[in-house]
Structure 1
């Protein structure tokens, strides 16, 4: 049985989606951010970065949400959430997962934790404003990719779509959120009716009303 160390509406959300979608046996273990449990000595033995999530699979512990998603998909390829080895879609899967993780998620982290990126608090409003623009630019790229497509890679849902839904939900408070973009908004409204997304979001207390 897998063990997922998680916190609601955190980077653990995408792995949580995959565990449920593939109907895998798993245990959810809450990491209490309010008490900074992710920095405890016990947790750091599993995840030396002191962040959430961590997946324990037997005698190995894996951290970084995107790496966990890839691991789950490759361990259970029969579910089709990652393109087959040698297919033309496989490099595109990694391209988009990397873009979501290294560009969109990275920009969101700067936006929500601006104090980590300056030693002058007076500049924080400027950082937030700049990040809103950078996030909108990243969302525009994704919006264009979704034009005429059911899912990010085409006709079949993959782990990239669950990862994108997680990040898109995080954009709702910003100046130009994911729902500002036509193709992306249509796609997200369709995804919010997906049984896995509905179930996991209800369990984690995530409000899907904005996507209705």
Structure 2
């Protein structure tokens, strides 16, 4: 089964592409952009009128939102063993962590990068950005504490959650006042291991 992935460098679509590589699925990349001043492909907007990537399309369906796509692909390709079995306690932690990434860490990035979405006036945008920088440290610390001494984010088994973690670490920009990944030793340890995987080497070359 093949997929089309609306794709832009520096976006969450890169994490989905790594996942497709890990699965070994056939896929086609359709160039898009995260530059809000540039137009998006019509096919992308037909699925996601917000204009964001990733958007994943397959024979009889389409969807957006990185966390949702991650869960969907893991469930659709159980042979890749990229998510915990439904009957295990780790399954709940897997779902919790992906939603936390999407709702908390990605939201903190948005506060910094797109403060106009959270402020009524231009004068209030700097306050939104400051809150975003604080939230980035707070939310990454939660994940660092969650990892603890684990081999991987969820425990002993590599999963799509580790791919998602790595993807988010690549967004950190200390020059903007965002934390350095080195501030979170456990996060950095996991990210360094994920970076060595052939799928990541290909996508993030």
CA 1:144–1:33: 2 relative to 1, 3 Å? closer
Please, which runs of 5 or more residues in structure 1 have no aligned partner?
A: 203-212
Matches within 5 A, 1:86-165: 86-165=87-166
What is the distance in 2 between the residues matched to 1:120 and 1:48? Answer: 25
| TM-score for both structures, normalised by structure 1 | 0.88
Cα deviation digits, residues 154-173 of structure 1 (max 9, x gap): 11111111111111111233
Partner of 2:38: 36
3-state SS in 1 of match to 2:20: helix
What is the distance in 2 between the residues matched to 1:95 and 1:103? Answer: 11
- Displacement of 1:41: 4.5
Partner of 2:62: 61
What is the distance in 2 between the residues matched to 1:108 and 1:24? Answer: 30
What is the distance in 1 between the residues matched to 2:88 and 2:58? Answer: 27
Partner of 2:13: 12
| TM-score for both structures, normalised by structure 2 | 0.91
Contact 2:153 2:190 in 1 (8 A): no
Cα root mean square deviation, aligned: 1.6
Work out whether 1:26 is the aligned partner of 2:32. Answer: no
Please, which runs of 5 or more residues in structure 2 have no aligned partner?
A: none
3-state SS in 2 of match to 1:26: strand
What is the distance in 1 between the residues matched to 2:82 and 2:204? Answer: 19
Partner of 1:194: 197
